[in-house]
């Protein structure tokens, strides 16, 4: 979760997502100020949330806060759990038809009663700042992306910021979701990496991952990727966001670095961990992203960047008509 900042001392150097995210947001803010001054136009992001899932509420709140930081106007639609697919479609269609709304995001997951696929496909591809619409998925696969999902885009920004060479490297992505795993693999492939995608059915997983110079963990299992999964000196990108709720869990995962995490656990009732075992990875990896303070911050920053891009597309279409 954004806000839980914990410094650690490890043998692996940390790839600081906070620094990169701040730079991206500053760039977006500067461009929005120019847009407002020269064309009297302020981008608008509409965030739609259905139900009372606490995690979704926090994620939307963080996105709205980021909008305020960079000068994007935001609208928040908090709909009840009982909302039907047709009712949600009506909200999406009204946002599609409003030219002042630059970007639309529907916070996932949606309640089981709602047809998630239909909702994603109903968003105007030119306002699809999450990059989930089939048209945007297809354009990314063809190497001609319009909107790239925010987490994969943030990963590439992070790697570029630290000057990590992608051309010709062996890369492995653990996870095949449409939100992270597959688009991350596509972006790495387009940068001439040799990419392997692993998943729950991959045989001898550690044998595959331990050959990779770049390892992206997006499998959704707390601390699963231990030392045997990591090639010595590899760059490890941890996309996971999981909670530890007992002192025993914290001590087993963080080892000598447990003290500060136990303090967080005592105050909040949980502490965050990714899909990578932090203590073991620190002994093997060359570079690693922290959790929190890594990829999650970049996800929100790239959403701001995508919203700015959507606003520019809107202005371009007005100019042509």
Q: Which domains does the chain have, with CATH numbers?
A: 40-124 (3.40.50.10860), 149-296 (3.40.50.720)
CA distance 18 to 191: 24
- Do 273 and 223 touch, CB atoms closer than 8 A? yes
How far from 293 is each of 48, 97, 195, 249, 268, CA to CA, in Å? 25, 37, 26, 20, 17
- Do 70 and 304 touch, CB atoms closer than 8 A? yes
List 128, 130, 238, 275, catalytic entry:
130
Q: Let me know if 318 is a catalytic residue.
A: no
Q: Let me know if 63 is a catalytic residue.
A: yes
**The pLDDT value given to residue 321:** 57
**The pLDDT value given to residue 151:** 97
Q: Let me know if 201 is a catalytic residue.
A: no
In this prediction, the residues of the chain whose per-residue pLDDT falls under 70 are 1-10, 319-321
CA distance 219 to 274: 10
Longest dimension (CA), the chain: 63
Please name the residues in contact with 309: beta carbons below 8 A apart, sequence gap of 6 or more.
129, 147
- Do 264 and 245 touch, CB atoms closer than 8 A? no
Give the residue among 238, 292, 284 at the shortest CA–CA distance from 260.
Answer: 292
Q: What is the number of other CB atoms lying within 10 angstroms of the CB of residue 11? A: 11
**The pLDDT value given to residue 1:** 43
**Stretch (H or E) spanning 194:** strand 194-198
CA distance 158 to 163: 9
List 25, 63, 231, 309, catalytic entry:
63
Q: What is the number of other CB atoms lying within 10 angstroms of the CB of residue 139? A: 17
**The pLDDT value given to residue 6:** 44
Task: Evaluate if pTM is beyond 0.85.
Answer: yes
pLDDT for 90-112, tens place per residue?
999 999 999 999 999 999 999 99
**The pLDDT value given to residue 54:** 86
């Amino acid at each position: 979760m954004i806000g839980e900042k914990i410094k650690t001392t490890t043998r692996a150097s940390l790839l600081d997502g906070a620094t990169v995210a701040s730079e991206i947001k500053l760039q977006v803010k500067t461009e929005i100020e120019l847009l407002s001054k020269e064309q009297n136009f302020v981008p608008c992001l509409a965030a739609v949330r259905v139900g009372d899932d606490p995690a979704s509420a926090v994620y939307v709140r963080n996105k709205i806060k980021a909008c305020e930081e960079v000068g994007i106007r935001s609208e928040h639609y908090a709909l009840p759990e009982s909302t039907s697919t047709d009712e949600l479609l009506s909200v999406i269609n009204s946002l599609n038809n409003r030219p002042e709304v630059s970007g639309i995001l529907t916070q996932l997951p949606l309640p089981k009663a709602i047809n998630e696929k239909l909702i994603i496909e109903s968003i105007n591809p030119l306002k699809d700042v999450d990059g989930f619409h089939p048209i945007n998925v297809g354009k990314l696969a063809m190497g001609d992306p319009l909107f790239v999902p925010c987490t994969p885009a943030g990963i590439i920004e992070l790697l570029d910021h630290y000057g990590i060479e992608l051309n010709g490297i062996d890369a492995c992505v653990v996870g095949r979701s449409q939100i992270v795993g597959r688009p991350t693999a596509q972006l790495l492939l387009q940068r001439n990496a040799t990419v392997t995608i692993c998943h729950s059915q991959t045989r001898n997983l550690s044998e595959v991952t331990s050959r990779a110079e770049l390892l992206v963990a997006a499998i959704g299992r707390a601390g699963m990727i231990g030392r045997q999964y990591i090639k010595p000196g590899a760059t490890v990108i941890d996309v996971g966001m999981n909670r530890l709720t007992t002192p025993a869990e914290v001590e087993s995962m963080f080892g000598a670095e447990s003290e500060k995490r136990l303090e967080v656990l005592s105050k909040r009732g949980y502490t965050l961990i990714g899909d990578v075992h932090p203590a073991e990875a620190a002994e093997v990896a060359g570079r690693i992203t922290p959790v929190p303070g890594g990829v999650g911050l970049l996800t929100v920053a790239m959403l701001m960047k995508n919203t700015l891009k959507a606003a520019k597309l809107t202005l371009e279409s007005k100019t042509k008509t």
